[in-house]
Structure formats: C-alpha cells, structure tokens
Chains A and B, each alone.
Chain A
C-alpha cells in the first residue's frame, strides 16, 4: 500500500503546487475561481483518454510516441506559464490590467488549459497504475486506501501553500507566485529534454555533475525539490541548457512586455 501512496503523492504534488499558486493569484485579483471546475474535468478526461491509448501512442514514431507526447505537453505548459507570469507582472504594475487588457480577457482560458494539461500529464500514469491494480484483482483496498492517502497528502500540501500565499502581502504573493511558476516551468523544460534524450531524439551526454550523495532523488527532500524546482541529481548538459533557457526567456519576456507598455 505504501507504494501506492508514494506513486499517487509523487504525481499529485506538482499539479497541486501549480493549482494552489494559480488559485492564490486568482484570489488576489478577485478573479472568480470557478475556472477550476472545467480545468479539473478536462484534465481528468484527458488523463483517462491518453492512458487508454498509451499503448498505441507509444508505438508511434518508431516507439518514441510516449516521450514525444510528454515533452510536447511539458513544453506547452512552459509556454502557458510564461504567458501567465507576464499577466501577473502586468497586473502587479497596473491594477487595471487585471481586467482590461487582451491578455486579461483570455486569462481564464489560459489558466484552464494550463491546469488541465498538468492534470492530464500527471494523471495519465495514475490511471494506468490504478488500472493495473484493478487487473490484479486482490488490490482494491490498497488502491482505495493508498490512492486516497496519496491524493489527500498532496491536496493538503497544496492547501497549505494556498493559505500561506493568500496571507501574504499582495506584492510578496505575486512575486513569490512568479518565482515558483518560473522554477516549475524550468523543471518541466529539463524533464522535456530528458524525455527527448531517452527516446534518442536528442543526443545523450555524460551528466554534468552528481549530487546524489548530498540529496538523493529517492529521499523525501529530493522528491519535494523535484516537484518544486525540477531537481535532478545527475542532470545532462542539455537539461541544464533547457532549464536556464526557460528562466532567461521567461524573465526577459516579462521585462520586454512591461517596457513596451510604458512607451505606449
């Protein structure tokens, strides 16, 4: 049952983190948080469908379909998170921007898309795992208890982060949110690079460093850091490149879009 708890928690953690940060930002801007319902439904539907077809998806592109799909989802999320960060920064500097700009008018759609992709990406493995437990017959109790516990711990951590954030001062909250979102998306980009290396689309290289003796990826700290900043003990040079490229692109796009606004 412990295995089930860990698998569920690992997958839920990152989606819960993104969800709680985006909910806290919506709360700060007095934006209705009802977008969570379509986001959750589309996410669960997407997870079930992609899990059902995973065998066929995997066979595509000479057996690399699974990796190409995962990295596409991850890169799409990086792009959406970047747009969300630009929106938060615009609102931080100009209160009216939260409602009036073109970006603000479409922000709910972007939030829904981002969260549903996050749930689809994390949830598809959970559906496959749950299905395998059901297939093995004798494990219903372990699935219900373990899965429930894993989901519960993940959701509680998300709730703690949400309440910590909404009790912060507006400026601190928004800057913290942008920082967390940028780090999460950098981790996603590094993960996307890893999938492409695993499937042979990008060249493999020796890892740049090895910190597994200091913080093991198996440890709880390692798992938390993985969800938060995409921690890897032995990253390849390409992963590091993707990681910092996303941070630089995100920060510079935020600065560039605010500058053009001021000139207007």
Chain B
C-alpha cells in the first residue's frame, strides 16, 4: 500500500529541464576602459560549473540548465521558485570586480549584491535591476624601486637629529666662549636649577625641586659680595 501511494505521488511529479540564460556585462571605466585592457576574462557561477567569456563589448552570457521536479498540480508548479543560489564572480588576471548573488528561478533570476565571505542566508533585501559590474581596482604587483636620494637621506629626521647633535657638540665650546659673562652666569644658574630639579625628582623631594625652580635665586648660590653693584646687563661695559 505504501509503495502504491509512493508511486502515485511520483506519477504526479514530472522532471523537466529548464534553461535560463544569465546575461550581464562589465561596464568600462577608467580602471578598465576596454576588453583589450581586461584581457582574457570569464564570468563564473560558484566554482565554475557555468561560465561565460567576456566578449568584445564587455557582455557575457551563461547558459544554465537544470532538472526541475514539477508537480502536475498547477498550484505547486509556480514560477519564481528559487532553483539555485549562485555566486557570480569575474575571473580576471589584473582587475578586481565585485561578486553578485544570483537567485535563479524558473523564469529568470534575481540579482543581489554580495560581499565575499558573508553569509548567504538571510539574503540581502536589495534587488539589482541587472548584472552590471565595474572594475573596482587594478592589481599592483610591484614594489616601487628604492633609489638613493641624497636630499631624502639628509632630510630624514634621524639624520637631521644626528647632524644637529654633532653640530652642537662642535659648536658648543665656541658658543660658550663667546657668551656674555652675565648670560653665562644666568645660563649656569638655570642649568643648576634644572639639575637640582632633576636630582630632587630622582630623590623624590618634588617640593624642594619646585621651590628651587620657582625661587628667584638658587639657595645654594652664593650671595653677591657686598659693595659690588648688581649689574643687569654687561654689553655696554663690554663694548670696546
């Protein structure tokens, strides 16, 4: 009895070969202006069971054929029932193209955007009107040559720092010698303050360090000998 019911249910179905032509095109842009630039390329569905060459005008056609099980009852045999989800890719040597999702049904197909590696289920809600692909990028295989550039080398911060440091080492004794004695004194004072702060920091006595920095004169500095007028500037005395 079960076998009979099974046979009856089989009889109510019929196998049919459906053919759907998936047509699309590559729209030329500045990255890929013509078929000559594109070179030999193909549009493939999934892993390449269905393929179509990109012809001179950028168009391609893939001829899909598959078996469909129809039910004799028209209520079940209805159009727009998906018979396969495919991912359309362009196999090109030098150019990068987007991938698309193609949902094929009995009378045609839907085109949806698809991003590599994303899940097929649930599908995107965006339906594209046609298969039109643009070259998104051109592969750049080479590393730019690294030629020797003297100015570039001299202009690098490390080299500049090195040159400046070296220059300072050389120039410092001369600068010190040519400095006004008062300025020299001030410089030494400020240096002493800085070193005091540094040592205070190191010993953890921050307060003493800051007070030393804020003080008019370093406490350690000897007071000016009495009777010696406090000169503010020396240049006029130094002028000869």
* A and B associate in one complex: no
